[in-house]
Amino acid sequence: MGVDDRRGSVVGGTVATPEEVAARLKDERKVLIAVHENPDGDALGSLSALGQVFDDLGCSWKGYVPGRAPLPSEYLFLPGLDRVARGELPPSPGTLYTLDCASVERFGPEGLQSRFCVNIDHHPDNPHFGDVNLVDPTASSTTQVLYDVFRAGGFPITKAIGTALYVGIVTDTGRFQYSNTTAAAHRMAADLQDMGVDVHDVYRRVYESTPVSKMMLKIRAFETMRFLLDGALAVAVLRVQDFEDTAAQESHTEGIIDGIRTVAGIRVAALFREKLVGGASEFRVSLRSTDGSVDVSEVAHIWGGGGHVRAAGYTIRADVEEAVAALKKEIETRL
Ligand code: 5GP
Ligand code: MN
């Protein structure tokens, strides 16, 4: 199968069980672990947890996060993130493990470059682009999928590994409050706490360490909030100027959408972030469906993005008002 054939729709490499992936981990000697651009707590928690397990198994590894924007500071306490390469996909003779990547495009425009790829994820629209795929859409986070793998392999889960797994699940479930919060997610959290994870310490590090720039950017975003379609659609926009004025980075936008969606009556929340690419405006858009009645992944797919029914994203190159109007039109037909 050619690399390009693995882009796009479901193409179906081998589907593996947690046991099969665990057996594979034991055989690895050198690997590259990649997560998606603008990584969140689940992506970085997954990378850290798998990296630590590879250390324990005597496998040499390197991490990779596409792009050059600084990693979100609240996750830098996780072990191994200092071994993450940035920019171009680095050369590596070993297996490529992609974590929390819903599609090949999510971890870089260069694609897989003919590497042997093990794809571990929980996004329902993941097209199984790997040679080996462990994609569990019932898992609340990719760290939950990894937790299954580690248990299947009988790998010791140290406090530090458990902490990385916990960061993934606490952030992807919105602190155990989003609709993807299953009983299994709570059980995993309870197990990890039994194994020594200090949940209050994680809370302090992840949620009470907001940089001032991030707070100022959030205020800017809230000031731009617009309520469209009789209040069913809320939109906030961050321009390049807002990032400059507050000295904020793209990673500082994480969590803003969670504030937007809290207003009564909203069914879809959207956050637009402007980026200048070759002098032209481009917008990264995050979408959230509050009650699940509008499938936002379907909307994101229109512009080549993706995600889940209740959380999705895409990139659009357009004037901001055109981009907002186009979104409004798509939401309107789905209300
Ligand atoms: P966020 O708004 O937090 O960036 O993304 C929300 C969800 O949508 C995440 O699960 C993320 O993986 C997915 N997502 C965001 N942007 C894209 C995109 O451009 N392509 C795809 N396939 N998924 C995306
Ligand atoms: Mn995730």
Ligand found nearest the CA of 310: 1
Q: Which of 306, 314, 267 lies closest to 289 in space, CA to CA?
A: 267
Exposed e or buried b for every residue in 50-80, given b needs 16+ CB within 10 A? Answer: bbbbbeeeebebbbbbbbebebbebbebbbb
DSSP letter string over 8-70?
SS----EE--HHHHHHHHHH-SEEEEEE-SS--HHHHHHHHHHHHHHHHTT-EEEEEEEBSSP
- Give 321 Cα–ligand 2 centroid separation in angstroms: 30
Mean pLDDT for each 10-residue chunk of the chain (335 residues)? 36 88 98 94 98 98 93 96 93 91 77 87 93 97 98 98 98 95 98 98 96 97 98 98 97 94 97 94 97 97 93 95 98 97
Which residue's alpha carbon is nearest to atom 2 within ligand 1?
286
- Give 278 Cα–ligand 2 centroid separation in angstroms: 30
pTM of structure: 0.89
Which residue's alpha carbon is nearest to atom 12 within ligand 1?
307
Q: Which of 163, 237, 223, 231 lies closest to 196 in space, CA to CA?
A: 163
Q: How far are the Cα atoms of 32, 142, 155, 203, 214 from residue 49, in angstroms, in the given order?
A: 14, 11, 11, 18, 26
Contact 13, 76 (CB under 8 A): no
Q: Is 253 near ligand 1, meaning CB less than 6 Å away?
A: no
Which residue's alpha carbon is nearest to atom 15 within ligand 1?
313
> For residues 247 and 245, what is the distance between their CA atoms, to the nearest angstrom?
6
In this prediction, residue 4 carries a pLDDT of 32
Which residue's alpha carbon is nearest to atom 17 within ligand 1?
313
Contact 47, 35 (CB under 8 A): yes
- Give 40 Cα–ligand 1 centroid separation in angstroms: 10
**Secondary structure of residue 115 in the 3-state scheme:** coil
> For residues 23 and 284, what is the distance between their CA atoms, to the nearest angstrom?
38
Which pairing describes strands 233-238 and 226-228: parallel, antiparallel, or unpaired? Answer: antiparallel
From 106, 180, 327, give the residue whose CB has the most ligand 1 atoms within 8 Å, as the site to mutate.
106
In this prediction, residue 113 carries a pLDDT of 78
Domains delineated in the chain: 2-207 (3.90.1640.10), 212-332 (3.10.310.30)
Q: Which of 59, 64, 65 lies closest to 31 in space, CA to CA?
A: 59
Q: Is 306 near ligand 1, meaning CB less than 6 Å away?
A: yes
In this prediction, residue 8 carries a pLDDT of 39
HSE, side-chain direction, 13 A CA sphere, residue 55: 15
> For residues 262 and 244, what is the distance between their CA atoms, to the nearest angstrom?
27
Exposed e or buried b for every residue in 93-130, given b needs 16+ CB within 10 A? Answer: ebbbbbbbbbbbbbbbeebbeebebbbbbbbebbbbbb
Ligand found nearest the CA of 145: 2
Q: Is 127 near ligand 1, meaning CB less than 6 Å away?
A: no
In this prediction, residue 137 carries a pLDDT of 96
In this prediction, residue 108 carries a pLDDT of 64
- Give 110 Cα–ligand 1 centroid separation in angstroms: 18
CA angle 12, 16, 17 (to 5 degrees): 145
Which residue's alpha carbon is nearest to atom 3 within ligand 1?
286
